[in-house]
Amino acid sequence: MYGTQLYMRNLQKLRSLARVLHQLGFENLGIIPSLCPSGLSWRCVFLAENNGKRREVFASSWMQDEFDINSKEIEESIEEIAAKFIVKKTGFLDQCGGENKVYANWVKNVLQQLEKEELPYAFSDYLSSTSYWKTSKGNRSILFPE
């Protein structure tokens, strides 16, 4: 398997990580995927907003620091990846606890729409207002919850 395919397949696990974290009760964990301006790198930020304070974790950078995503497929299960994330990012996750079923269900729906090795992005070089996210395969059917 080539580096680009490994990169995309491994980073796709962040989608599943967000889903598992929501299932574990961190439903206020927000997700903002993006492309770097060159379009060559995919990024994903996990957000928490609590009492007017916003905290963020560059989840894609964390994944790259924890695993060799460019040369081999991550062997750990998504539950093992989640356990690692919880240990390393406990302070951040403390801000993500609580119920937010509408958002958690929307994320689950997004995950079900994406194909293998397909990554969503909300923006590339700047954030613009749209009712959908584009994907690495040119799709744009991922709609925000009403």
Domain boundaries, the chain: 2-143
pTM of the model: 0.81
Q: Which residues, given as ranges, of the chain have pLDDT below 70?
A: 1-4, 37-39, 120-132, 134, 136, 138, 140-146
In the DSSP assignment, the letter for residue 114 is P
Q: Are 55 and 89 in contact (CB under 8 A)?
A: no
In the DSSP assignment, the letter for residue 77 is -
CA 106/CA 126 separation, integer angstroms = 23
Which pLDDT belongs to residue 61?
A: 94
Which pLDDT belongs to residue 84?
A: 97
Which pLDDT belongs to residue 142?
A: 59
Rg (CA), the chain: 15
Q: Which residues pair with 52 in a beta bridge?
A: none
Q: The sheet that has 132-135: what strands, in order across it?
A: 120-121, 132-135, 142-143
Beta strand pairing call for 30-35 and 53-58: unpaired
Which pLDDT belongs to residue 1?
A: 47
Helix axes 13-23, 3-11, angle to 10 degrees: 10
CA 69/CA 8 separation, integer angstroms = 9
Which pLDDT belongs to residue 103?
A: 85
Angle, vertex CA 67, rays to CA 65 and CA 71, nearest 5: 115
pLDDT digit string, tens, across residues 63-75: 999 998 888 899 9
Q: Are 115 and 69 in contact (CB under 8 A)?
A: no
